C-alpha cells in the first residue's frame, strides 16, 4: 500500500493541466518540423494551430503564476502592516522635529530611553541653523502642495512632485541657493525616514542645473583691501561718537579682515541666536595686554563644521599699526574688561547686533566715498581671501584659515584691475 508521503511526492511532481497540455502540444509540434510550407498543403495550418495553442497555454500558466505571487505578496504585506507601523504614504501633520519618526521598527518594544537617545544623537548630527533651514523647507513644500493641489503632501513624495516643486519655486523668484537648500531639507527628511530620496534622480539634478543657468547672477560684492581697511578705521573718529564705540568697531573691522570672519561670528541677528558668536574665552593673548605679540582665536561654531573640530587662528602683530588687529584688540579689551560673555558687547552680556554693525559700516563706507551697495559686511572675508591669494599663500592654507571645506573659496578670489600700463616702445 502506497504511503501518504509517497503520494504527496508524486502529486508534487505532477505538472499542472495547462503546463502538461502545453508540453504535449510542443511535443506534437516537434514531430512536424517547419520545413518548406509548399511541401504539404495542410502543414502550415497545423503549425499555426499548434503555435496558437502553445502560446495560449503558456499565457494561462503565467497568469496563474502571477496570481499566486500577488496573493503571497498581499499576505506578506498584510502581516507586515500588522507588525510594523509605517509612515509611508501618510500625511505629515506637522514638523515639530525635522527627522520625524526615526524608523519603521517595532516601536512598542523599544525602550523610551533608547528612542530619546537616538533622537538626541540625530539632532546633534547637524547644527540648529541647519535644522531650522530644513523645517523651513518642509513648510514651504507644504505651502506649495496646498497652493497647487489644495491638499497636504503625502510622503514619500514622487520625482514628479519634486520637479513641479522646483518649477514652482523658480516661478516664485527663489534663487538657485534657496532652491538647493529647500531640496536639501526634502532630501534629509526622506533619507532619515528610510524613504527613497526623489531629489537624487538625474532629471531633478538637470532641473537644478537649468535653474542655475537661468538665475545665476555675478557676485558684485567687492573686497575690502588693507588700504580700504585703513581708510575705514581712520574714518571712525568722524562717523562714530564715543571712544568705546570707536574702539569696539575698530577691533571688529580689523579682526573680521585678518580672521576671515563672517558677520554672524562677530554679531548676532537676534539675542536668542548667539551660538556662532565669538566669546571672550575664545580669544587668548600670548602675554599680558601690554606685551602681547600675537593672539590665538579659537573658532568652534561656524558654518559647515560638521566634524565639530575647532579651528585655531594665530594672528601676529602687523607692521601697519593702524590696522593691526592685536593692538586694536588690546585697546578694546582694556575698555571692555576681561569678563566672560560675547567678545563684542556693550554690556558684557548681549552681543552686538548685526543691524548695528552693518549700519555703522555703511556710514563709514559712505564717508570715505565707497558705494555701500558694492561693499558689504562679507567684503572683509572676500578681501582677506583675495589678499591671501595674491600674497601667494597656498589655497589649502587659505581654505583652512577661512574654514572653507571645498573649492568654494575660489569664488572669493577677486582679480585686480590694472588702472594703467606703461609699455615702452
At residue 418, the 3 state secondary structure works out as coil
CATH level 3 topology of 107-215: DNA polymerase; domain 1 (1.10.150)
The predicted-structure confidence for 380-394, as pLDDT tens digits, reads as follows 999 999 998 888 888
Beta bridge partners of 295: 285, 315
Rounded Cα gap, residues 283 and 312, in angstroms = 10
CB of 190 within 8 A of CB of 225? no
The percent of residues in the chain predicted with pLDDT above 70, rounded, is: 70
CB of 342 within 8 A of CB of 277? yes
Highest mean pLDDT, choosing among 87-101, 184-198, 334-348: 184-198
CB of 51 within 8 A of CB of 29? yes
Residue 69 C-beta-side C-alpha neighbours within 13 Å: 6
Distances in Å between the Cα of 87 and the Cα atoms of 58, 100, 255, 296, 362 are 40, 9, 49, 50, 51
Confidence of residue 224 (pLDDT cuts 50, 70, 90): very high
Beta bridge partners of 296: 284, 314
pLDDT score of 299: 86
Residue 308, pLDDT above cutoff 90:
no
Joined grid coordinates for residue 34: 517547419
Least confident of 4-8, 72-76, 87-91, 381-385: 87-91
Residue 38, pLDDT above cutoff 50:
no
- Provide the terminal-to-terminal Cα distance of the chain, rounded to the nearest Å: 120
In the chain, which segments carry CATH 1.10.150.130? Answer: 107-215
pLDDT score of 60: 65
The predicted-structure confidence for 158-213, as pLDDT tens digits, reads as follows 999 999 999 999 999 998 889 999 999 999 999 999 999 999 999 999 999 999 88
In the chain, which segments carry CATH 1.10.443.10? Answer: 226-412
CATH number of 226-412: 1.10.443.10
Amino acid at each position: 500500500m502506497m504511503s501518504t508521503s509517497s503520494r504527496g511526492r508524486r502529486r508534487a511532481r505532477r505538472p499542472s493541466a495547462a503546463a502538461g497540455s502545453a508540453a504535449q502540444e510542443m511535443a506534437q509540434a516537434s514531430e512536424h518540423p517547419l520545413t518548406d510550407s509548399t511541401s504539404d498543403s495542410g502543414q502550415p495550418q497545423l503549425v499555426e494551430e499548434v503555435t496558437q495553442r502553445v502560446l495560449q497555454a503558456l499565457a494561462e500558466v503565467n497568469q496563474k503564476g502571477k496570481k499566486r505571487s500577488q496573493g503571497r505578496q498581499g499576505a506578506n504585506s498584510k502581516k507586515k502592516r500588522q507588525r510594523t507601523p509605517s509612515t509611508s504614504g501618510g500625511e505629515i501633520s506637522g514638523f515639530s522635529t525635522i527627522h520625524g519618526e526615526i524608523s519603521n521598527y517595532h516601536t512598542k518594544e523599544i525602550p523610551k530611553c533608547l528612542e530619546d537617545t537616538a533622537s538626541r544623537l540625530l539632532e546633534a548630527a547637524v547644527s540648529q541653523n541647519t535644522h531650522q533651514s530644513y523645517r523651513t523647507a518642509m513648510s514651504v513644500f507644504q505651502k506649495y502642495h496646498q497652493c497647487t493641489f489644495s491638499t497636504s503632501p503625502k510622503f514619500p513624495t514622487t520625482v514628479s512632485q519634486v520637479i513641479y516643486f522646483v518649477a514652482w519655486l523658480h516661478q516664485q523668484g527663489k534663487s538657485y541657493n534657496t532652491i538647493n537648500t529647500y531640496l536639501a531639507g526634502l532630501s534629509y527628511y526622506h533619507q532619515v525616514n528610510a524613504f527613497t530620496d526623489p531629489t537624487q534622480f538625474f532629471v531633478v539634478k538637470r532641473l537644478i542645473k537649468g535653474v542655475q543657468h537661468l538665475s545665476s547672477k555675478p557676485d558684485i560684492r567687492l573686497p575690502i583691501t588693507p588700504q580700504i581697511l585703513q581708510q575705514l578705521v581712520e574714518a571712525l573718529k568722524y562717523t562714530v561718537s564715543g571712544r568705546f564705540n570707536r574702539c569696539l568697531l575698530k577691533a571688529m573691522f580689523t579682526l573680521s579682515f585678518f580672521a576671515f570672519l563672517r558677520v554672524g561670528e562677530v554679531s548676532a541677528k537676534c539675542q536668542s541666536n548667539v551660538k556662532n558668536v565669538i566669546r571672550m574665552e575664545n580669544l587668548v593673548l600670548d602675554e599680558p595686554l601690554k606685551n602681547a605679540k600675537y593672539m590665538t582665536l579659537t573658532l568652534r561654531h561656524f558654518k559647515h563644521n560638521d566634524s565639530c573640530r575647532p579651528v585655531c587662528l594665530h594672528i601676529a602683530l602687523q607692521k601697519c599699526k593702524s590696522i593691526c588687529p592685536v593692538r586694536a584688540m588690546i585697546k578694546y579689551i582694556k575698555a571692555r574688561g576681561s569678563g566672560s560673555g560675547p567678545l563684542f558687547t556693550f554690556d558684557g552680556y548681549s552681543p552686538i547686533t548685526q543691524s548695528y554693525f552693518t549700519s555703522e559700516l555703511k556710514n563709514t563706507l559712505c564717508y570715505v566715498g565707497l558705494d555701500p551697495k558694492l561693499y558689504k559686511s562679507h567684503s572683509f572675508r572676500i578681501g582677506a581671501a583675495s589678499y591671501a591669494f595674491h600674497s601667494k599663500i597656498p589655497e589649502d592654507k587659505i581654505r583652512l584659515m577661512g574654514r572653507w571645506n571645498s573649492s568654494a573659496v575660489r569664488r572669493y578670489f577677486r582679480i585686480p584691475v590694472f588702472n594703467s600700463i606703461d609699455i615702452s616702445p
